[in-house]
Amino acid sequence: MDWLMSIVRIAGASFPGASSLVQLQAEIDSKALLERISKLEDPISSLHELVPEVSRLIYDGIKSSNSKELKFDDSFYEKYSQPLAILESQGFIKGNHAAMSKSFAAGITVTDPSFIMYMCALAENKQKMESLIKIVDDCSKRNWLNGKQLQELLGLPLPVIQAVFEIYEAKGYGQCSKEIGSHKYMGKV
């Protein structure tokens, strides 16, 4: 088929019937290019067609439980077994599996802060997220931000705030408190 379209493109200007085929090929090429760009811009959604849907449900679980450790009913794991397996293989979640029994027997844990940001892009209020990013971005040297206070101020789940802290720490902009149960971030730059 590629050889045919190559000939049509060459002959398109000379033969009136071929011009519509040239237009069709241009539209096909454009659609393919848009799909490729979309995969580059949103690599997580392109992992599986159900990833955005399951991600929204996982985020709803984070919001309602205020935790990265989640348990769903068996039907959830059955329906979303493929996208969950893909997300786990990519390191975005960790399944709490039981040997020789059902997958995700004891739930899942969201392990990657960038996946939490992906879920926020799908399901969280844009203004709340912009406010959080601005606050963390403006955190001056040696000043501490308290995640629980930010949670009350912005109405965002604590795992979201902690994920932003961890992303900023990974970039070298600050440091997360290592105290167990603490959700604090200190600016370094």
Question: pLDDT value at position 19?
Answer: 54
Assigned CATH topology for domain 125-187 = Arc Repressor Mutant, subunit A (1.10.10)
Question: pLDDT value at position 97?
Answer: 73
Amino acid at 127: Q
Beta bridge partners of 145: 185
Quick one: what percent of the chain has pLDDT higher than 90? 63
pLDDT confidence tier of residue 87, bands split at 50, 70 and 90: very high
Tell me which of 102 and 177 has the higher pLDDT: 177
Does 104 have pLDDT greater than 80? no
pLDDT confidence tier of residue 142, bands split at 50, 70 and 90: very high
Does 4 have pLDDT greater than 50? no
Mean pLDDT along residues 158-163: 96
Find out whether 106 and 71 touch, Cβ atoms under 8 Å: yes
Residue ranges per structural domain of the chain: 2-41, 46-110, 125-187
Which backbone phi and psi does 96 adopt, to 5 degrees?
A: -95, 90
Question: pLDDT value at position 26?
Answer: 59
Closest CA to 50 of 87, 105, 89, 104: 87
Question: pLDDT value at position 41?
Answer: 55
The CA distance from 56 to 75, in Å, is 16
Does 179 have pLDDT greater than 70? yes
Q: What is the pTM of this model?
A: 0.77
Does 127 have pLDDT greater than 80? yes
Does 6 have pLDDT greater than 80? no
pLDDT confidence tier of residue 21, bands split at 50, 70 and 90: low
Tell me which of 81 and 38 has the higher pLDDT: 81
